[in-house]
């Protein structure tokens, strides 16, 4: 039997109308979103289906992606004996993984990521921060060029997404200047991303300190399935270690390449990306050529995966 790991996408994979076809075929999707509605106090499903601008607001994107990823996971888990050997998620997706693993209650998770998003949005004024994707350079080169920046503000490597793909984050002017320096160093492309929050860099340090209080007030458990954390690509030793890693994730880089390599090391032969989009599926082969991945973002995807498993 193939050994599976389930991975969950983060911000950037959302789209208006997502999961509509799954909701038409599986009642559990609407049930999940009704639970999210109760936790948030507004109709998240209606927002997801009708309002792209509202969906793209960080405070809405994060709970929407958690609900969508968890609803997709529930379909897979209810319809087949997945028995995943481990779970992981990219940035916000880490929380979806914790909910799926039983380490975090769904309603608590929804409220927690909403608060996380609000803290992130408030940490840096609009227009002050930026992020950019750097393609075609080794991780070490990107890290060094960022370290060499000597102007005003900060710029740091934020996401190590795959070999030759690193996202940088920081003050807008510093990010733009570093993009030019990275192109001069040989980057194939340096693309500014359409985001308002410079995630996973030291500009989020104050938000992380405040968020640690919310984490302390939230009940966590060691789940039934191990979850790899973005901070160090390792599972938590205990509940307190989990909280520490989640707070640190806000202002430290996402080690996604490390997470995928660790999943492979643990014995995973195939990854299933549960939730909207196919970003992580596309990254998998670039990270570990012997690993395959399938997206589970719509009805056609789900049926193909279930047929393979059964």
pLDDT for 38-88, tens place per residue?
999 999 999 999 999 999 999 999 999 999 999 999 999 999 888 899 999
Give me the catalytic one of 115, 200, 229, 264: 200
Task: Please report the pLDDT score of residue 231 as a whole number.
Answer: 98
Residues 6+ positions from 217 with CB-CB distance below 8 Å: none
CATH-assigned architecture of domain 4-123+203-309: 3-Layer(aba) Sandwich (3.40)
Q: Where in the chain is the domain with CATH 3.30.70.250?
A: 129-196
Beta strands in the chain (DSSP E): 4-8, 87-89, 129-135, 155-162, 165-171, 189-192, 227-228, 270-274, 292-296
- Residues spanned by CATH 3.40.366.10 within the chain? 4-123+203-309
**What is the pTM (predicted TM-score) of this model?**
0.96
Fold of 129-196: Alpha-Beta Plaits (3.30.70)
d(CA 97, CA 105): 11
Known catalytic membership, residue 200: yes
Mean pLDDT of the chain: 95
Catalytic residue among 5, 13, 91, 169: 91
User: For 154-174, how does the pLDDT look when each residue is reduced to its tens digit (9 = 90+)?
Assistant: 999 999 999 999 999 999 999
pLDDT 10s digits, 268-289 = 999 999 999 999 999 998 999 9
**Active-site residue flag, 91:** yes
Q: Determine contact, residues 173/151, Cβ cutoff 8 Å.
A: yes
């Amino acid at each position: 039997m193939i050994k599976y790991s389930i991975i969950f996408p983060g911000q950037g994979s959302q789209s208006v109308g997502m999961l509509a076809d799954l909701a038409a075929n599986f009642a559990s999707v609407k049930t999940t979103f009704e639970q999210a509605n109760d936790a948030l106090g507004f109709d998240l499903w209606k927002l997801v289906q009708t309002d792209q601008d509202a969906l793209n607001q960080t405070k809405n994107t994060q709970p929407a992606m958690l609900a969508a990823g968890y609803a997709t996971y529930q379909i897979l888990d209810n319809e087949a004996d997945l028995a995943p050997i481990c779970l992981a998620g990219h940035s916000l997706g880490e929380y979806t993984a914790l909910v799926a693993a039983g380490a975090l209650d769904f309603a608590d998770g929804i409220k927690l990521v909403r608060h996380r998003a609000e803290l992130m949005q408030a940490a840096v004024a609009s227009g002050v921060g930026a992020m950019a994707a750097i393609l075609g350079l080794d991780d070490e080169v990107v890290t060094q060029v960022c370290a060499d920046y000597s102007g005003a503000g900060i710029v740091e490597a934020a996401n190590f997404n795959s070999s030759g793909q690193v996202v940088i984050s920081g003050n807008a002017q510093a990010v733009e200047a570093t993009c030019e320096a990275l192109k001069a160093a040989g980057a194939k492309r340096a693309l500014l991303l359409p985001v308002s929050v410079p995630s996973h860099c030291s500009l989020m340090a104050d938000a992380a300190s405040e968020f640690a209080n919310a984490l302390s007030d939230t009940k966590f458990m060691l789940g039934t399935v191990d979850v790899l954390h973005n901070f160090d690509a390792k599972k938590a030793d205990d509940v307190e270690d989990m909280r520490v890693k989640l707070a640190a994730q806000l202002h430290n880089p996402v080690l996604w390449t490390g997470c995928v390599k660790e999943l492979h090391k643990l014995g995973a032969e195939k990854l299933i990306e549960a939730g909207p989009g196919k970003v992580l599926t596309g990254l998998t082969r670039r990270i570990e050529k012997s690993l395959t991945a399938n997206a589970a973002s719509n009805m056609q995807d789900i049926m193909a995966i279930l047929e393979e498993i059964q």
